[in-house]
Every structure is written in structure tokens, then in C-alpha cells.
A and B are shown apart, each in its own frame.
Chain A
Amino acid sequence: MIRTENLTKVYRMGAVEVQALRDVNLEIKDGEFIAIIGPSGSGKSTLLNLIGCLDKPTSGAVFIDGINTGKLSENGLAEIRREKIGFIFQQFNLIHTLNALENVALPMFFAGVRHEIRMERAEELLAKVGLGDRIHHKPSEMSGGEQQRVAIARALSNDPEIIIGDEPTGNIDTEAGNAIMDILEGLNHEGRTIIVVTHDAEIAARARVTKRMRDGSVL
């Protein structure tokens, strides 16, 4: 379960302070499929980054399975990101020097999984997202939809309970976007918690819970 407690994030841009999040209290149960919607600048991505342990709050706390992530060291946070969370970005963020198979295997590499095992698992995951025949292609040789499916396979590589998507369909066409949502739905059926940020109402409609944000607060 994920719980936030008075989560606040303030960005300083020179002399100006921007309050990106204000006292957000949110509870996401295990196995939930939640969409967070709201206009840009409403704090959706900031919230996602804090839940995903990519950033640290100014005040307040994020609890993941009862662990206060604010109390963890850098390495502890890296471990949470590696073992419990799979992150999917709007820009896919694949490593362009590595092919699909190597990209998917990378989180397992950081987890210390043996080479043969991680290659085998990476291949299975790519097959699962429908790219079994494109495992040796570089990101530059793939469409946006394909790249995002590689990114999902990568997010799954250490078998995390939580999948976080920051506008995962924002950079791809509707058809490919629907395919991505199909995969995410499937992962939710496997029991994984899915958290997606979007401003596409159609996409949000496929989630089981929708939360709306405005000016740094969850409404």
C-alpha cells in the first residue's frame, strides 16, 4: 500500500518559490488502478516522482508498504526503485546505445542478476509486450508505441508490485496508446498496482479510480 502524509514540494527558482504540492494525503491500495488527471502545472508529475522515489519531498512523507521512504539512504531509495517500482516515462527514456533486449535487462543488471538469467527473462518480457521478434532492434529503429512497450517490459524486469506511468501515452498515437493501456490493464489483473498520470480523459476512463489535481492539491 502507498500512503502520502501532508506531502509538500516547493521548488525554488531564484527568488521565486513555486509550491508544486500542498499537503497531499493520498492512499493507494495494493492492486489499485488509479489515474491522476489535471491541467499541466497541477503537480501530477511531482506527486508521481515523489511516490516513485525519484525525488525527495520538502516536507511530509511517502510510505510504501509501511516504509517511510524519507528515512531511507540514497542506496535504500535506489533499492526501492529497483525492486518495488517500475517507472514508465512519457519520453520512453530508453538507453539509445542498447538494443531492446539489453534495455529490458538493465534493471536486472543493477540488481545483480546473472547474465544468462536476465537475458532469458528480458526475452520473455519482450514477448509478453508483443515484441518477441524485435529484441535486437535499437530504440531508434522502433516506433514510439514499440519503444513504450520496451519501456514497460523494462519496468517489469525486476517484477515490481507498483507500475508508475507519467503520461505513458502522451507521445504516441491513439491506437498505440490503447495498446499500452491494454497491457497496463493486464498487469493490473495480475495484481499489480498501476498509477498513471494523464490529461487524456479517455485514457483516464480506463482506470478504476480517478483523482483530480489542481494547484498542487488532490481534489
Chain B
Amino acid sequence: MIAPHKITKMRDKFLLAYRGIRERRARSILTVLGIAVGIAAIVALMSVGYGMEEAITGELTDYADVISVFPAKITAGSYVELGSFTDRDVKDVERIAGIKEISTMTFDSANVEYRNENIPIFIIGGDTEKLESVYVEPVGLKEGRWLRENDYKACVIGNRVANDYFDEVIHVNDKLEINGEKFTVLGVFKKGGMLYANDVDPHIFLTLRATKDVLQTDEISYIMVRVYDIDEAEEIAEEIKEAINDNHGLDDFANAMTMGSILEQLGNVFNIIRGVLVGIAAIALIVASVGIMNTMLMAVMERTHEIGVMKAIGAKSSDVLSLFLIESSMVSLLGGVVGCVLGAVAAKVISLGASTALGIEFGTVIKPEVLVGGMAVAMIVGVLSGFYPARKASNMSPVEAVRYE
């Protein structure tokens, strides 16, 4: 007898397994789809989760050197104003080492009238260049232009102010009355993204001078500090708090938040969101796994007779087992690939749909490790669910298996 050639035998097993898959096209396609749907769910949900996270942290990372100082207690979802800052506070903050620049904002609610309709709206005033870099650059203007320092009775309005607040839509060059004084609309913001929807859309922006006049105040509602070295930000934030608290004789008057601490909090939130998404994907996968096991079991049962014949003509149990394992891993691999592709497409569709429906923009981030993980899960589930029925079949006595119809 001719000596066995293990390598060619392996190659031939692959060919034979391939024949098995091709000959049962409908069942193979169903099995591949079963695996693909489970994997697609995981890939899509993870990619959307990462996409949301990146949309938010990415925007914030541009402001990593920023420390926001409020005269308020800020907890999750609430902002309790404790007063306002003074010029002396600003001067004291300016003296702290490591600070690159400081800008202040003044804001409060004012009565706004447009074509005989009166509505209280939040007015924000500050250094026009600083406001431009904080709000205009990320959000953008839909029409008109941004404020200049020498503009006086002029304003730029948020998207909701222009479109939703009054019966009639406000356009550039329309006139508004703010606390009784006439202002010309110079520009209208685009809709703010996830981060800016509440910061820009419902507000009206003026120069600092005009704001102080119209609100009749010298108070400062917010100080934005930029530092040279991000690593020193936490330390500087502490110094700012101390300096301002000393001025006011209070312990908890000023609240100075570095972007780092905001990002950290967001990171925690995203871990929870991702956990939930992975949980949902895991359920999808378990459901898919049961389906895969079922199709694999059926596929092997259906071929019990064939397995019996193979054994009767001299196949060893290990030959039969490896033949079926090769077949189920080929199917699983294909399922994994299809699943990754479907998942990536689904993630794009979801993010697109969510962006339009919710008015918040975020893309998808398809991480290679998610794809590799998806493939690995597909292989493991596919091979494991192929293993049990294949082993059962390969251990049957040939007579029993041949009789099986």
C-alpha cells in the first residue's frame, strides 16, 4: 500500500469539506447568516459605542488645556449659582503662574422681544475672539457673520432662538429688542452637535460691553483659563479655587473644572454605555449561537447515514470528526467575515440614522480589535457547536449510522 501523505490528505479534507458546503448551499447559507447576524450585532453596537465616545471626547480634547471656572456648585445635571466673580477675582487669577490666557463671560436671562412677542432668553457676552474659538469654530454659522469687538447694538443668535422660539423665523438684519434696547441680528448659528446643543442653540451672543449694558451689571459669570502645560492643569485649578474663595471668604464658592476631569467623568459614563451595548450584543450572540448549534446539529444529523458509509469503507472516527470540524470552521469563518462586513455597514447606518433623528453628529469607529474579536467569537461558537454533533456522529457504530435514514 502507498504510504500516507499527511499534507495532501489535509488539503483533500479541505476540498471534501468544501464540497460538503457547496452541495448543501441553502443550509450553508443559512448557517453562515446565523453566525453573521450575531457577529454583526456585536460589531455594530461596539462601533457605534466607540463612535459616540469619540465624537464627544474628540471635541473636548481640542480644549484639553482649558480650565472652566464657575461661581457655582455643579453636580450631575444641576447648576446652582452661588453669586458672581469680580474684577479682583480676575486679577488674582491672572497672577497665578502657568496661565496662558484668561477670558471672562457674563451671562444672564433677559427679556427679548421680536415682532410683539416677549420671551426670556439667556444672553451670553464675552471677548468676541474667545467666544469665536469656543463656539463659532466648532458649531459654525448658518448665515451672516460673527461679532467684532466694535460691534455694539448687534447680536448673533442660536439656532433654536432663530427658528423655534418665536412664531416667525428670525433672519440676519432682523431687529430684536433685548431688555428694551434694539439689536440687529448679524448672524445665526447652525444647529449645535451633541455637545453644543444646550450651549449655543437657545442663546443670544453679544459683545461683553453690550452685555454688561443690557444686563446692567459688572458681574462676571464665568472665567475661562487656558494653561501652558496640561499636566499642571489640576494644580492650577486648585490655586484658582483658593484665590477666589479667599476673596469671597467662602470655602466652596468657586468651581474650577479641568477638561481632564470632565473627560474622566465622561469616560466612566461611556464605560457604562459600552457595557450595556456589549450586554445587548452578548444576548444577540447567545440567540445566534443557539441558532448556529441547531443548524450544525441538523447538518450533522442529516448526514449520519453518510458518516456511517464513510466509516464502513474505512474512515476512522478522527477522519470523520476532522472533516466535520473543517467544514464547520470554514462556515464559521465565512460567517465571521460576512458578520464583520454587515456589522460595519449596520454601524454606519445606525450612526447616520441617529445623527439625523437626534440632530447629534457622530461617526462610527471600527476598531481592528473588535473585528478580530468578532471573528474569534464566530470561530469559537461555530466550531464548538459543530464539535458536539460531529463527535457524536463519528463515535456511532458504522452499522447504526448506515441504518440511519
User: Is A209 interfacial (CB 8 A cutoff)?
Assistant: no
Give per-residue flags for A92-122: 1 if the beta carbon is below 8 A from chain B beta carbons, else 0. Answer: 0111011000000011011111110100000
B317 touching A109 by the CB < 8 A rule? Answer: no
> How far does the alpha carbon of A71 sit from the alpha carbon of B363 in the complex, in Å?
67
In the complex, identify which listed stretch (A29-37, A48-56, A177-185, A210-218) lies at the interface while the others stay far away: A48-56
Cβ contact within 8 Å between B313 and A106: yes
Say yes or no for B315: interface residue by CB 8 A criterion.
Answer: yes
Tell me which residues across on chain B come within 8 A of A54, comparing CB atoms.
311-312, 397-399, 402
Contact with A along B311-326 (1 / 0, CB 8 A): 1111111110000000
Shortest distance in angstroms between B385's beta carbon and chain A's nearest beta carbon? 22
Cβ distance B322 to chain A, nearest Cβ, rounded Å: 11
Contacts of A109 in B (CB 8 A): 9, 12, 16
- 8 Å CB contact of A74 from B6, B8, B316: B316
CB–CB A112/B310 < 8 A: no
- B1 A158 Cβ-Cβ under 8 A: yes
The answer to whether A115 and B12 touch across the interface, beta carbons within 8 angstroms, is: yes
Question: A47 CB to closest chain B CB, in angstroms?
Answer: 12
CA distance A87 to B311 in the complex (A): 11
Contacts of A38-72 to chain B: CB distance below 8 A: 49, 52, 54-56
Q: Which residue of A lies closest to B22 (CB)?
A: A97
Could you tell me if B309 and A158 are in contact, using CB atoms closer than 8 angstroms? Answer: no
Q: Which residues of A contact B319 (CB under 8 A)?
A: 78, 110
> What residue of chain A has the Cβ atom nearest to residue B402's Cβ?
A93
The answer, among A78, A111, A113, for a CB contact under 8 Å with B317, is A78
Return the chain B residue nearest A76 by Cβ.
Answer: B316
Q: A82 near B: Cβ within 8 Å?
A: yes
> For the complex, what is the distance from the CA of A56 to the CA of B24, rounded to whole Å?
33
Q: Which of A56, A98, A111, A112 has the most CB of B within 10 A?
A: A112
Query: Is residue A154 within 8 Å, beta carbon to beta carbon, of the partner chain?
Result: yes
A74 partner residues in chain B, CB cutoff 8 A: 316-317
Total A-B contacts with CB atoms under 8 angstroms apart: 86
Question: Do B1 and A111 have beta carbons less than 8 Å apart?
Answer: yes
- Given contact pairs A54-B397, A97-B20, A115-B8, A110 touches B316 in the complex (Cβ within 8 A): yes
Q: For residue B8, which residues in chain A have a CB less than 8 angstroms away from its CB?
A: 114-115
Query: In the docked arrangement, what's the CA distance between A54 and B400, Å?
Result: 9
Any chain A CB within 8 A of the CB of B127? no
> Which residue on chain B has the smallest CB distance to residue A75?
B316
Q: Which residues of A contact B312 (CB under 8 A)?
A: 52, 54, 81, 87, 89, 93
Interface size class of B (residues with CB under 8 A): 20 to 34
B1-19, CB under 8 A of A: which get 1 and which 0? 1111110110010001001
Residues of chain B lying within 8 A (CB to CB) of residue A23: none
Query: Do A158 and B314 form a contact, CB below 8 Å, given A95-B306, A98-B19?
Result: yes
The reply to whether the CB of B23 lies closer than 8 angstroms to some CB of chain A is yes
Q: Nearest-CB distance from A202 to chain B (Å)?
A: 27
Partner of B316, one of A55, A78, A115: A78
- Interface residues in A, total, Cβ within 8 A: 32
- In the complex the two chains form, what is the Cα distance from A154 to B2 in whole Å? 17
Q: Are B313 and A110 in contact (CB under 8 A)?
A: yes
Nearest-Cβ distance from residue A138 to partner chain B, whole angstroms: 10
Which of B23, B317, B397 meets A55, CB within 8 Å?
B397
Chain A nearest CB: distance from B395 CB in Å?
Answer: 8
Evaluate contact between B397 and A56: CB separation under 8 angstroms: yes
Contact of B313 among A49, A55, A97, A154 (CB under 8 A): A154
Chain B CB within 8 A of A79 CB: yes
Q: Closest approach, in angstroms, between the C-beta of A40 and any C-beta of chain B?
A: 15
Q: How far is the CA of A95 from the CA of B303 in the complex (A)?
A: 10
Q: How far is the CB of B394 from chain A (nearest CB, A)?
A: 10
Chain B residue contacts of A95, Cβ below 8 A: 306, 309-310
Which positions in A face B, CB cutoff 8 Å?
A: 49, 52, 54-56, 74-75, 78-79, 81-83, 87, 89, 93-95, 97-98, 106-107, 109-115, 117, 154-155, 158
| B residues lining the A interface (CB < 8 Å) | 1-6, 8-9, 12, 16, 19-20, 23-24, 305-306, 309-319, 397-399, 402
Q: Which 8 A-B pairs have the closest CB atoms?
A: A82-B314, A112-B4, A97-B23, A78-B316, A55-B399, A54-B398, A107-B313, A93-B309
Some 22 contacts from A to B, beta carbons below 8 A apart, are A54-B312, A54-B399, A55-B399, A75-B318, A78-B311, A78-B315, A79-B314, A82-B314, A93-B305, A95-B306, A95-B309, A97-B24, A106-B310, A107-B314, A109-B12, A109-B16, A110-B314, A111-B314, A112-B5, A112-B6, A112-B9, A114-B8
